[in-house]
Structure formats: structure tokens, C-alpha cells
Structure 1
Amino acid sequence: MSAYFYLIGQIIFIVFCVVAAVQIFYYLFFFRRLAFYEPPLKTANISQPVSVIICARDEADNLAKNLPGILVQDYKTTHEIIVVNDNSTDETKYVIDEYKKSFKNLVNIELTQEAKLIMGKKFPLSMGIKSAKYETLILTDADCVPASEFWVDHVQQAYHENTEVVLGYGAYHKKPGLLNKLIRFETFHSALQYFSYALAGIPYMGVGRNLSYKREVFMRNKGFSSMNMIPSGDDDLFINKVANKHNTAIMIDPASHTLSEAKKTWNEWMRQKYRHYTTSKYYKPIHKFLLGLYSLSLVLFYPLFAASVVMHTWWLALSVMGLRLLIQAIILYKTMKKLNEKDLWPFFILFDIWMFFYFLITVPALWKKPKQTWN
């Protein structure tokens, strides 16, 4: 019996080492790219006209609070702010009309009928894009406010000669409480992946809270026509389709971030995450493989570590764990510092353990039928 127990312990420890190696590979091959990223220098600093597009449905309160931060951007070149009012039944129209009295570059597009056979935010966003005067588009949401008055300028400056897509960071306001920190860490963790993958030449998503691309790339790919029947995906699935290693850049300067209010309850957050994750099944195979392997390795890591401590040599298991934690600590510190989330770093081990449970909770979203409305 002892020989059998020893053999099982050996197998578990070997599998643990393999899983740890996979984790270390992701940190050293992918995530270090963001940790040590330095923006490329531009030979010429030329500002281009920009169209900022916001879709709103029953967002009167959010527009009253956040729209001024977009309207007063310090951007000397011609730009317009387009708000697409998608069948709102609240005071959204009157809020927009009031701001139009003071800001001549604010454009209001009123939609009064629901689009048939086009799910989610895609139709109002398409109307905003097709109405845009300028080639460079910057997208955000009504519940977002720029982190600085130089948001538009920073995003626009990320464009280089061949750039068609710029991925930004949509952060959350820092508030007291555990839920706020969990939401912010999960948001950071997602950004760590999509920024790092983009730097590795395999971009797979962006977030609609802070995203920019050329109008021409939207028209060339026939907009959202290939994903009209999927309620979400106007940000991540579209970027998954059009972004590549040659046309995609990132912008991570804190002045280029947008800020939103995090969900106040666990159920609200889980509904939001389930809606987001229902689109991941439509990613390209290479992206699904890489994301799935990373998630699987994270889910297996801690159970295998515990089993290795009990059934094998505890100090060997701790040594492997220590190596992984050292690499993780360095890279997370540098990436959190770049994304202005450094206050989360002292708790990264606890958050890392939490992600084990988080993946288990959200995995049913891969099979769950997506919600049919966008707001």
C-alpha cells in the first residue's frame, strides 16, 4: 500500500510540476511583454480629427455625470462627440439637448425603432460609426469617464503608420470593500492577458469602455454583419476578427484610461461576467486554446500543490510554488504599476487563489445562452 501511495504521490508531483511550468511559461513568454513594455517613439506627432462614439439606452444619470469629462477634453484638433440615443424611455434626450447648447461638437443620433434580427448594441453603434465624420473612432460607454482631459490625445497618439486598432484600459473607480477589489483585480487580470497577447502579435479582444479603430477597417469588414445574431461581441468579437500583429497597438498610460463604477453586488457582477464570457466560445481556435490552457493550469495549480505537499515531498512542492510566486510577484508588480492598480499588489496571492474559484464559478457561461439585450 505504501508503494502504491508513493507512486500516486510521484505522479501528482510530476503533474504539478508540468502545470507550474505552464503557468511560468505564460508569465515569461506573454505577461512579461506588458511588464517591460515601453511605447514606441513617434518620429512625428500629428493629431488627426477624431469621432468619439457613445451608445446610450436609458443612461440619463450616467450621461449627466460622465459626458462633461468627454466634452471638455483638451484636444486641439477637430473632433466630434456622437451620442447614439437607442430608444431611451428616460430623460436621456433632454440631457443630451442641454449639453448641445454649450458644446457645438456634440452630435445626437436618435433611434426610435428596434432593429430586427440585430442583437445587442451593434445596430446603434453601427449607426454612430456610419454617421461619423472622421476616420479615427474612439468608443466608450455612457457609464465611463476619462481618467484625464488628455484621454483623446493619448489614444490618438497611439496610432502609427500601419495601425488600425488601439486597445485601451477600462478601469474601475477605487472604492472601499472586498467586492470592489475583486472586480478590479479580475479587470486587471483580463487586461494583462489581452494587452500581452497583442504585444505577442496575437491580439484577441478589446473592451468597449476604451477602444479605438479606424472607420475604414469597420467598413472593410462589413461592420458587425458576421456576428449580428450574437447579443454581445461588438467589442471583443469584432477585435478578434479584425486585429492582427501588424495593425494593432496598445495604450496603457494612466491618462488614457477610462473609469467606471464597479457593480455594487455580487449578483450584478456575475450577470455582467456571464454575459461577457458567453462570447468567448466564438473566438478563433488559437485564442480559445491559449486562454483555455492558461485557465486550466490556474484551476489545477492549487489542488495539485496541496496534494503534492501531502502525498510527496513538502519542501520540493514549496520550492516549485516559491519559484512560480517569485516570477509572478515581479511581473504583477510591474504590470499593476503601469495600469495604476499597484494598491492591489500586496494581496496578489489571495487574489490568485480567488481566481481558482472565479474560473470554476464562471465556466458555465461557456454553455449558457447569452442575454438578448445589451442594457
Structure 2
Amino acid sequence: MLIYIFYFFIAIVIIQLFYYLGIFGKFAFSKPQNIKQQNIPVSVIVCAKNEEENVKKYIPLLAEQNYPDFEIVLIDDASSDETLEVFEEFEKQYSNIRLVKVQNNEAFWGNKKYALTLGIKASKKDYLLFTDADCYPTSKEWITAMTSQFTEEKTIILGYGGYEKERSLLNKIIRFETVLTAVQYFSWAKAGLPYMGVGRNLAYKKEEFFNVNGFIEHIQVRSGDDDLFVNQAANKANTTIAYNPEGFTYSRPKQSYSEWFIQKRRHVTTANHYKFFDKIQLSLFYSSQLFFFLLVIVLLSFQFQWIAVLALLATRYTIAWIVMGFSAGKLRERDLKIWFPVVEMVLIFTQINIFITNIFSKPVHWK
């Protein structure tokens, strides 16, 4: 029996090396990305529901972008706090702000996709740039950096949305998971198989939205205005990535493990609606991670081929560490490199916990 377990372990290591070198290496070892202002007309779209404090801080950062031709479409999704009033003040203050007021609709109650659809239809520019109400750009060149990747063919741009650094293990776990997710969708996009993006930093030409009839195919799914749209609309020909640090956005991470756990439950549930291949490749990666550690424990417990097992363990860790280190450097998350072994283990068992929990209850979505 142990010999078969050992052979299975070798196969798992090969799968892991394929992902880290064959796929993730496409982003990790890519050249730095330059930006060049194109001056194409852009609508920056922000949808907010009960985000009074965040929009007070972050909308001025969007309005002060160093870009010649852009508007900001602020969507108030039937907020019960003072978000709408704050938006109305900004509308008076900045001439390029357009306000969309969403009333609760019985058919689309609390559905962010409905609110976004109204905002997209109200926008006046042909290119759309999305971020969340609790996000802020890293620089005044954010619009320039993101839109610089648009070409006649490339009409969907996947960007990076990170989280602020804090002194806690939870913060490192959240940020590492964010980096790993970005490495995955950046790398698969470079491989010609884009499958998701994040609404914290995403851009596409308006015609891409109407080409797939907006969110209608997955309107019944309360989440996924970003990744499900990309999963449906993106392909090798029309999608590229933007990873110049000037074009990053950041937001404040969850402050407790339980809050973050709930957030990740929503993300996993949304991924169940991806295309078949995308679900398979994600499942294969995460299951191979789990089996890698379980089989190491089993084989070393019985001291079966322990020298070979340790050699394979070291090889996998060295390559994964190098790839993730280069990737973290590109995303300005270099401090995470030394935490790789610890946070990887936490993430693996968090995934198991999420899978089991989601079997017995459904996560809560948009506010």
C-alpha cells in the first residue's frame, strides 16, 4: 500500500510543479510593466451601499486623478445611512461626477448587479473602470495605469486590488490569499485562459458588457458582478492584465477571522458557477495542495522512502517559494515571502472548513 501512496505523492508533486512553474511562472517571471497615457475617455464606476465613512475618504482620491478625460459614476444602492447625501455633496463639488440613485426593486431586491447595470447604462464614456466604495487607488496615475493596457483587441483589463498592511497574523493570511488569487488569475490570463477578475480593480469596454447581455446570465447569483462577468466575457483575444504598482487599489482588510471566513464562503460559492474547465483547474490545484501535505505526513510517519520524500518536499517548497516570492515582489507584498509556509497551511485547512460549512448553510451576500 505504501508504494502506491508514494507513487501518488510523486504525481501530486508533479501537478504542483506544473502549476507553480508552468502556470504561475508566467506572471512571476514576466517583465515589469510600463504605462503610457492613452487619453481614452473613461467612466469610473463606484457602487456603494451604506458606505458613508468610506466614500467620504476615498471619492476625493478618485476625483483628483491625473487624467484628462474621465467621469465618476457614483451609484447609491438604496443606502439606509448618509451615503446618498455624501454623494450629492460630491456631485455639487466636482463637475465630472454623475450620480445614480437606485430604489429598491422587488424583482432585484438588494442585488448589486441591478445597481451596477443602472450605473453602466448611465455612464457616458466607452471605457469603464470599476472599484469598490471601500477601495482607494495607490496613486493619481491609477486611471492611466489601468487604461494604458487597452488596445483595439484587448478590451478587458484585470487589475490588482490589495489590502492594507497591519501587524497581525490574520492580516498576513488575508493578504497572502489575495496575492495567491491574483497570481492565479493573472497567470491564467497570460496563458490565454482568463477566468476571473476582482471588482476592486477591473476595467472593460462598455460593448463587452452588452455583448453578453450584461449580468443576465447569472443575475440570480447574488455575487459575481466581477468574476462571473469575466468568466463569461473574457477570452484569450480580448483580455490582458495590468500590474504596474501605480495602478493598484487597496482597501482595509477584515478585522476578525470570522468576518474574513464569511467573505471567503461567498467567494467559494460564486466559483461554483465558473465554466467547467475553470472549476476543474481550481479544484485540482487546491486538492493537490491538500494531498501534498497529507501524503508527506503519512509517508514520513512510516519512514517510507523518507530521503526521496524529503527531497521532493524540498523541491516543491523551493520552487513554490521562488515563484510566490517573485510574484509578491511584483505586487508590492514582499514581506509575505517569509510567511509562505505558515499561511499556506492555514489557507488549506480554511478551504476545507469553508467547503464543509457551505454544504450545510448558504453564505450571506450583498448588504
TM-score range, shorter chain: over 0.9
Structure 2 CA distance, aligned partners of 1:344 and 1:168?
A: 20
Counterpart CA distance in 1 for 2:338 and 2:275 is 35
The match for 2:334 among 342, 359, 366 is 342
> Could you tell me how far apart the structure 2 residues matched to 1:47 and 1:29 are?
36
3-state SS in 2 of match to 1:233: coil
Between 1:365-374 and 1:317-326, the stretch displaced more is: 365-374
* Partner of residue 104, structure 2: 113
Per-residue deviation at 1:266? 1.1
CA contact (8 A) 2:33 2:243 kept: no
The alignment status of 1:277 with 2:265, answered yes or no, reads: no
Partner of 2:29: 36
Deviation at 1:232, TM superposition (A): 0.6
* Residues 1:96 and 2:96 are matched in the alignment: no
The alignment partner of 2:237 has SS state of coil
Deviations 1:86-135 (A, max 9, x none): 11111112211222232111111111233514763101100110011011
- Which of the residues 362, 370, 374 maps onto 2:366? 374
Could you state the TM-score of these two structures normalised by the residue count of structure 2?
Answer: 0.96
| Structure 1: distance between partners of 2:362 and 2:145 | 34
Q: Secondary structure at the match of 1:116?
A: helix
Residue 119 of structure 2 corresponds to 128
Q: Is the 8 A contact 1:118 1:229 kept in 2?
A: no
Aligned to 2:154: 163
**Shift in CA distance, 262/49, structure 1 to aligned 2, threshold 3 Å:** same
Q: Deviations over 1:157-210 (max 9, x none)?
A: 011220110001110000111111111011111111111111111100001111
Residue 290 of structure 2 corresponds to 299
User: Pick from 212, 234, 244: which aligns with 1:243?
Assistant: 234
Q: Does the aligned pair in 2 maintain the 1:278–1:368 contact within 8 Å?
A: no
Which amino acid is 1:11 matched to? Y
The 5 A counterparts of 1:351-366 are 351-364=343-356
Separation in structure 2 between the aligned mates of residue 35 and residue 212 of structure 1, nearest angstrom: 22
**Corresponding residue for residue 173 of structure 2:** 182
CA apart distance, 1:319 = 0.2
Match status 1:325 vs 2:317:
yes
Total equivalences in the alignment: 366
Which residue in 2 is equivalent to 1:16?
9
Q: CA deviation at 1:367?
A: 4.2
- CA 1:368 to 1:70, structure 2 compared with 1: closer, same or farther past 3 Å? farther
Helix, strand or coil: the match of 1:230?
Answer: coil
Assess, with a 3 A threshold, how the Cα gap between structure 1 residues 287 and 30 changes in structure 2: closer, same or farther: same
Match of 1:27 among 20, 24, 28: 20
- Aligned amino acid, residue 201 of structure 1: G
**Is the CA contact (8 Å cut-off) linking 1:164 and 1:217 kept in structure 2?**
yes
Q: Which residue of 2 aligns with 1:204?
A: 195
C-alpha RMSD of matched pairs (Å) = 1.7
8 Å CA contact retained: 1:63, 1:142: yes
When structure 1 is superposed on structure 2, of 31-40 and 184-193 the one drifting more is: 31-40
* Cα distance, 1:63 vs structure 2: 0.3
Give the Cα–Cα distance (whole angstroms) in 2 for the partners of residues 115 and 199 of structure 1.
41
Please say if residues 66 and 145 of structure 1, whose CA atoms lie closer than 8 Å, have aligned partners that are also in contact.
yes
Whichever residue aligns with residue 208 of structure 1, its letter is G
TM-score between both structures, scaled by the size of structure 1: 0.94
Give the distance between the partners of 1:346 and 1:294, measured in 2 at CA. Answer: 22
Letter in 2 for 1:326: T
Aligned to 1:231: 222
**Could you tell me whether the CA contact under 8 Å between 1:30 and 1:197 is conserved in 2?**
yes
Specify whether residues 264 and 273 from structure 1 end up closer, same or farther in structure 2 by C-alpha distance, changes over 3 A only.
Answer: same
Quick one: structure 1 residues 372 and 122, their matched pair in 2 at CA, closer, same or farther if it must change by over 3 Å? farther
% identical aligned pairs: 38
Q: Distance in 2 between matches of 1:307 and 1:372?
A: 38
User: How much does 1:279 deviate?
Assistant: 1.1
Answer with 45-54 or 358-367: which moved more: 358-367
Secondary structure of the equivalent of 2:235? Answer: coil
What is the CA distance between 1:45 and its match in structure 2?
Answer: 5.2
Q: SS state of the match for residue 140, structure 1?
A: strand
**Structure 2 stretches of 5 or more lacking a match?**
none
Counterparts of 1:253-268 in structure 2, within 5 Å, are 253-268=244-259
Shift of 1:238: 0.7
- 8 A Cα contact 1:173 1:259, kept in partner: yes
